[in-house]
Amino acid sequence: MGLSRISIPAVVAATVAAIAGVIAHAQGLDPTPSAILAGALGLGGAALLAALSRPVASTSQAEQAGRSPHGTPGRADSRGLLVDLPLPLILLDHDRKLHFANDAAVELFGPAKEGEVLSSIIRSPLLAEAVAAVALGGAPTSVEFTHMRAREQRVLLAHVAPVGSPAGRPEAAITILIEDHTRLARIEQMRSDFIANASHELRTPLAAIIGFIETLRGTAADDSEARARFLPIMARQAERMARLVGDLMSLNRIEMNVHLRPGDTVVLGELLHETAAAVAPLARAAEVRIEIEVPRAGTEVTGDHDELNQLFVNLIDNAIKYGGSGGLVEIKLAPMEPGRARMIGVTVTDHGPGIARQHIPRLTERFYRVPGGRGGSKAGTGLGLSIVKHILNRHRGDLAIRSEPGQGASFTVWLPSAPGSYGTGIAN
């Protein structure tokens, strides 16, 4: 991907330029034409960098100001005004080494020391190329690059520009302002995936419905027996399409927010009893008994209530479908594991035909179904376990699957324990 010259958003320009003006006024600096020009570019200008480079003469006011909303002591220089800027901001010196990074940049890229080279903080050849071009006198430029954070790939857009040269030559020479385009990139990818998957999966039921309609409008127009036979089939195919669309929309919605970790506290036992009650009619129709061995209180996890409800609905629904008529679905707390000290596990077990080992790694793939039709005519859309996987990704959880042919299947969900609930579970 080559470098392209893209104007910085007007909102960012106005915000940072205004901050530059405030700092310049507080420091007694006269805005210069270069400061005004750089401010119009949205990167703070010379006055901003001059202020960042010069400490306030007296620290008494800063000391009296107490602590910031984040609990840090009042800062003694003007760079504190930029620390809480919502967009990551990085300032480099004339040797392209770190001079300043605000809180948003530290949150995104991790802590770094003043004087570190940019490549040790952000490993992106594209960004390094953009910085080098600007440092050699090039025009302000923008470049899109990817960055791994907490096992997730983020799509970022960096605006790189030079700093003006006020009297005294500030330490900082290059500014990098970063926007997170991860959500936009995911939306675009999901749109593409949705079209491909929906067109593939909807083609069969749609073709069947069209064929039946043509038959009923033609040779079987007055055939009441054909009509009675075809209409239920058409209704089932239409319901299948509705489920497919619903599952695809649900999956896309979860994927869109996968980088936003939920922070609510969910009482796991209450949630599981609530979920079991919701699927009880399906269990009765299939003559399957649900047994829950999880206390209603005392087991809490960090998560999103609605998404966790959807997760366990999918797992229990699968167990009912594949457990066999007159079967049993068991829901239990999983034994604690040494590598999951701050996790709580819940196992959903069916007593159906089981799954061959070679199919287990692919069960969470979109639309993957075990050859031979484990669920037979009751098979779902092929998206249930994919939804489970993506919900767990958002919760920073995990899924373990154990099964042997003829011995049923166990699906264990591992979720982060809520503060104060560490160690809840069954001892080994």
Q: How far apart are CA 14 and CA 8, in angstroms?
A: 10
Q: Is 23 exposed, middle or buried (0-12, 13-18, 19+ CB in 10 A)?
A: buried
Q: b vs e for 175-189, b when ≥16 Cβ sit within 10 Å of the residue's Cβ?
A: bbbbbbebeebbeee
Proportion of the chain above pLDDT 90, given as a percent: 29
Q: Is 225 exposed, middle or buried (0-12, 13-18, 19+ CB in 10 A)?
A: exposed
List pLDDT tens digits, range 189-217: 777 776 776 676 777 788 888 888 888 88
| Cβ atoms 274, 243 nearer than 8 A | no
Check whether 14 has a pLDDT greater than 50.
no
CATH class of 10-180: alpha beta
CATH class of 261-428: alpha beta
Q: How far apart are CA 291 and CA 295, in angstroms?
A: 12
Domain boundaries, the chain: 10-180, 181-260, 261-428
Of 276 and 220, more confident: 276
List pLDDT tens digits, range 35-80: 333 343 334 444 444 444 433 223 333 333 333 333 333 444 455 5
One of 1.10.10.10, 3.90.1150.50, 1.10.287.130, 2.60.20.30 is the CATH number of 181-260, namely: 1.10.287.130
Q: Which residues are CB-contacts of 56 (< 8 A; sequence separation ≥ 6)?
A: 27, 62, 76, 77, 78
Query: Average of pLDDT values for 421-427?
Result: 49
Q: How far apart are CA 179 and CA 105, in angstroms?
A: 10
Least confident of 109-113, 148-152, 154-158: 148-152
User: CB-hemisphere CA count at 13 Å for 31?
Assistant: 20
List pLDDT tens digits, range 234-255: 888 888 888 777 877 888 788 7
**pTM of the predicted model as reported, rounded to 2 decimal places:** 0.52
What's 298's DSSP letter?
S
Helices assigned H by DSSP within 111-181: 118-121, 125-135
Q: How far apart are CA 185 and CA 78, in angstroms?
A: 35
Secondary structure (3-state) at 412: strand
Q: What's the pLDDT at 372?
A: 62
Block residue for tokens 């210069």: 32
| Cβ atoms 408, 288 nearer than 8 A | no
List pLDDT tens digits, range 327-370: 899 999 999 888 888 899 999 999 888 888 889 988 888 777 78
Secondary structure (3-state) at 111: coil
